[in-house]
Structure 1
Amino acid sequence: MQRSDLADLTVFAAIARHGSFRRAALELGVSTSALSHALRGLETRMGLRLLHRTTRSVAPTEAGAALLARIAPALAEIAEAVGAAGAFRATLGGALRINAPRSACRFVLMPLVARYLARYPAVRVEVVADDAMTDVVAGGFDAGVRFGEHLAGDMIAVALGGAQRFAVVGSPDYLAGRSHPEGPDDLGRHLCIRQRFPGGAIYRWELEKEGRAVAVSVDGPLIVNDQEMIVQAALAGLGLGLVFEEGVVEHLASGRLVRLMPDWCPSFPGLFLYYAGRRQIPPPLQAFIDLVRRPEPDLTATP
């Protein structure tokens, strides 16, 4: 079966059903000459005459009638499937799978997902919190979330929230009787809460001031693999932690944590939603991209 056979079979069925080239052309939205050309091509490939044609009537041959009886149910089922696919887009059902770091899920992604599901309740969203550099295509995800420097060049990226910033923090209990660190060299005199990445490496604290960037191998008795655990350990007085600023705003405001070395923690480009470039983006993903690109206005802001 050639690629053109299905289209030409549709043409044959329409002509046979209407008994008229003109009415079939109106249904299919093409010219009668195009239908005649398609039918001749089909008959030539099959080596059969499928329709008797006179100036006054069109009727299936015996072979054409037998063929029509077999293909009509299949063509009707295909049309129904295409219609169902269109309804799927219109009602926006289906599934959306997103892979994202734990911190991105907490601070940025989940509020967006809540708004998305309120707008499109028929979609089933799955969010996988994952700090590894997972290949979202191989993993069967529709999209992922990463910081800009970790994006592959062949991915399409959409900014997800604003700039981010780290904060070096410690509890008042831990800092009592200790000098506050002023720069990276002072961290060697402090207990620091370390973080291990999924690949096994211990994170080196990335600090920067006035264009000078350093990566410090800190030391301390506790290693964890999650930012929230670093915050909890810092609150418990187990040492200094390097965490995302957004995760400790309330603790800093209440005085439960103290910010240190702020001039060594400049802001940097934030998170991006990324996905493989495809001509036909699945409707649930397209709707999520639209939500990210056109955030709702802040109605609480004063003019």
Structure 2
Amino acid sequence: MKRPSWNELLAVKTVADQRSFRHAADLLGLKRSTLSHTIKGLETALGVRLFHRTTRSVALTKTGEMLIERLTPLLTQMDELLNDVTGSDHQPYGSLRISASDAAISLLLETVLPAFIQTYPGIEIDLVAQGQLVDIVEQGFDAGIRLFEDVPKDMVALSLSGPLRFVTVASPGYLAARPKIRHPQDVMQHTCLRQRLPSGKRYHWEYQQDAQRFALDVPGSLTLDSSALMAEAAAAGLGVAYVPERYARHWLDSQHLVTLLDDWTIASQGIALYFPQNRHMPIALRLFVDAIKAAPCG
């Protein structure tokens, strides 16, 4: 039997990760027909079927699952070996694909990425902004970034920020001719900027002081699915918003917004990078994790 080439094995692993010949071909820089021909040729040479294919989906066979399970650590070790011996300066290379919210990407751009890209120019970073929580393994991501509370329980999570404080904000112009807001229930008498969650549900504003807790489905004629846009709309005088403080900081510093109900503020655990446990970590992800640990995030 002819021994499979490195490119053939990498093609199998990429298709398995992406669950899609089209996505895998894009990542590998190949035509879809070329990739399909490569996989079929390997299956013929091995005398086994590695993938179940339909017009809508691609899934590993039992044999394919066994191959990927044992092949993954070998490919990882080979990547590490090649990284160690390539170039006189041992410059690591590879790619890192991450699913994240726009807030998380903004945080990375300010903290981790500038130094990481300068230190490791051979590593390609692919950040995909997604409002909705996705299965990072099924979608072919190396890692994801979300609020700690949203990280799946079977994942390894690493803090990317400190606690995330939520604030109620409005513009001085909006507040000038309207009733004072001294208690969470007072917002029910105001025009509020409501938020639609990725699940489709409307977010309820949360407040807590000692044993008192409120979760309010606030009134309002404008609903948005972006905290950044909510802060911007509030700065334009369109109503009261409830957003992570990070999104409002620019508008607060410029005095286009003021905070309300500061004694009722609650905080999230913050933003976390997460990735599957019990899997060999690609060198690009390992270096990225080390960079996060060393960075002054928060």
Identify whether the pair has TM-score above 0.5, normalized to the shorter chain: yes
Alignment-mate amino acid for residue 94 of structure 1:
G
**Per-residue deviation, 1:83:** 6.8
**Per-residue deviation, 1:147:** 1.4
Kindly provide the CA deviation profile for residues 154-195 of structure 1, in whole angstroms up to 9, marking residues without a partner as x: 111111121110110000111111122122211110000011
Match of 1:264 in 2: 264
Match of 1:73 in 2: none
Aligned: 1:220 with 2:220: yes
On the 8 A contact 2:80/2:283 being kept in 1, the answer is no
Show the 5 A alignment for 1:136-285: 136-285=136-285
On the 8 A contact 1:107/1:247 being kept in 2, the answer is no
Alignment-mate amino acid for residue 247 of structure 1:
Y
Alignment-mate amino acid for residue 294 of structure 1:
A
Alignment-mate amino acid for residue 280 of structure 2:
Q
Alignment-mate amino acid for residue 88 of structure 1:
N
Alpha-carbon distance in structure 2 between the residues aligned to 1:277 and 1:84: 19
- Normalised to the residue count of structure 1, the TM-score between the two structures is 0.67
Alignment-mate amino acid for residue 225 of structure 2:
N
Alignment-mate amino acid for residue 158 of structure 2:
V
Kindly provide the CA deviation profile for residues 82-107 of structure 1, in whole angstroms up to 9, marking residues without a partner as x: 87751235432111011111122223
**SS of residue in 1 equivalent to 2:200:** coil
Alpha-carbon distance in structure 2 between the residues aligned to 1:280 and 1:84: 12
In structure 1, list runs of 5 or more residues that go unmatched: 2-81, 298-303
**Per-residue deviation, 1:217:** 0.1
- Normalised to the residue count of structure 2, the TM-score between the two structures is 0.68
On the 8 A contact 1:167/1:245 being kept in 2, the answer is yes
Change (3 A) 1:99 1:232: same
Aligned residue pair count: 218
Alpha-carbon distance in structure 1 between the residues aligned to 2:141 and 2:279: 17
On the 8 A contact 1:155/1:274 being kept in 2, the answer is yes
**Per-residue deviation, 1:280:** 2.1
Alpha-carbon distance in structure 2 between the residues aligned to 1:223 and 1:234: 12
On the 8 A contact 2:100/2:128 being kept in 1, the answer is yes
Change (3 A) 1:255 1:92: same
Runs of 4+ in 1 over 4 A off after TM superposition: 82-85
Match of 2:66 in 1: none
On the 8 A contact 2:111/2:295 being kept in 1, the answer is no
On the 8 A contact 1:194/1:219 being kept in 2, the answer is yes
> Computing the radius of gyration over CA atoms, which structure comes out larger, 1 or 2?
1
Alpha-carbon distance in structure 2 between the residues aligned to 1:86 and 1:284: 13
Kindly provide the CA deviation profile for residues 244-284 of structure 1, in whole angstroms up to 9, marking residues without a partner as x: 11222232233211110011113331111100013421000
Alpha-carbon distance in structure 1 between the residues aligned to 2:129 and 2:296: 25
Match of 1:86 in 2: 81
Alpha-carbon distance in structure 1 between the residues aligned to 2:242 and 2:193: 8
**SS of residue in 1 equivalent to 2:259:** strand
**Per-residue deviation, 1:295:** 2.1
Which deviates the most, 89-98 or 168-177?
A: 89-98
Alignment-mate amino acid for residue 230 of structure 1:
M
Match of 1:60 in 2: none
Alpha-carbon distance in structure 2 between the residues aligned to 1:251 and 1:236: 10
On the 8 A contact 2:79/2:283 being kept in 1, the answer is no
In structure 2, list runs of 5 or more residues that go unmatched: 2-76, 85-89
Alpha-carbon distance in structure 1 between the residues aligned to 2:279 and 2:268: 31
**SS of residue in 1 equivalent to 2:166:** strand
On the 8 A contact 2:227/2:243 being kept in 1, the answer is yes
**Per-residue deviation, 1:131:** 1.6
**SS of residue in 1 equivalent to 2:111:** helix
